[in-house]
Structure 1
Amino acid sequence: MVFVYAVLQATRVFMASKGNKTETLEPLAASALLAAPVALLYAYALALQTYVLQLDVVLAAIGLVFVGLETLLSATTAVAFYNAFRG
């Protein structure tokens, strides 16, 4: 489970970085699509794991907040790129 999380998170961050640097929509959209499974893995770590330490709860909550903010910022950046290249 941790390996799947690590691969998804690294891919998501790489795609977001690539989309931001090249100002293209496709990597940003891929990053936004990968945010859902990453958020589900954070939710699993937060609520569905059998043994959860208080530190696990805090780190998973912080991770969920960051994934949400990054997705929101990726969406606003994608809209700005679309408007800049359209007009």
Structure 2
Amino acid sequence: MNPSQPDVGPIFIYFGGWWDVVYYILNILVFVYKGVQLPYPNRNFAMEFSFSWLWILIEVPRLFLASKGNKTERTVPVIFSFILSMPLIAMYVYFIAFQTYVLKIDQLTNAIALIFMGIQMVFGILAMIRFIIASRFSA
């Protein structure tokens, strides 16, 4: 890594982790609001609420692998992070467009989450390219 070039990828991983905390709290609060105020079909509510728990079970390892891959300058953890991001992207799209009740707050929070995910993926690809080039020339 060239010291004159700042590496902004870890910044998006760091702030993406903080956004995840805010996102998760807002998401749970919105689901509680929907469950109390809206005539939700029980099966749909249970399924959509369980997606929130599934989301956290996938997002935490995804961020860990992205961070680990960046810190160790290895491509394999970053690739696994990309693999884990695929179901998360599907969940965000589901929450934006296909859940039983889509509120404006759902659209906003999930759009921000998709933006963070997209930026992290772009910087992940750039980091992997840099790691591969550096490994070829370091031998």
SS in 2 for 1:9: helix
Query: Which residue matches 1:62?
Result: 112
TM-score, reference length from structure 2 = 0.61
TM-score, reference length from structure 1 = 0.96
Q: Aligned equivalents of 2:102 and 2:79: distance in 1?
A: 33
Q: Aligned equivalents of 1:49 and 1:19: distance in 2?
A: 33
Q: Aligned equivalents of 1:37 and 1:78: distance in 2?
A: 21
SS in 2 for 1:50: coil
| Structure 2 unaligned regions, length at least 5 | 1-50
Query: Which residue matches 1:30?
Result: 80
Structure 1 residue runs of 4 or more that deviate by more than 3 Å after TM superposition? none
Query: Which residue matches 1:72?
Result: 122
Aligned-pair CA distance for 1:53 = 1.4
Deviations 1:9-41 (A, max 9, x none): 111100000001111111011111111111111
Deviations 1:44-85 (A, max 9, x none): 100000112111110011111111111111011001000001
| Structure 1 unaligned regions, length at least 5 | none
User: Percent same amino acid at aligned positions?
Assistant: 36
- Kindly tell me the number of residue pairs found equivalent between the two proteins: 87
The Cα RMSD (Å) is 0.7
Tell which structure's C-alpha radius of gyration is larger: 2
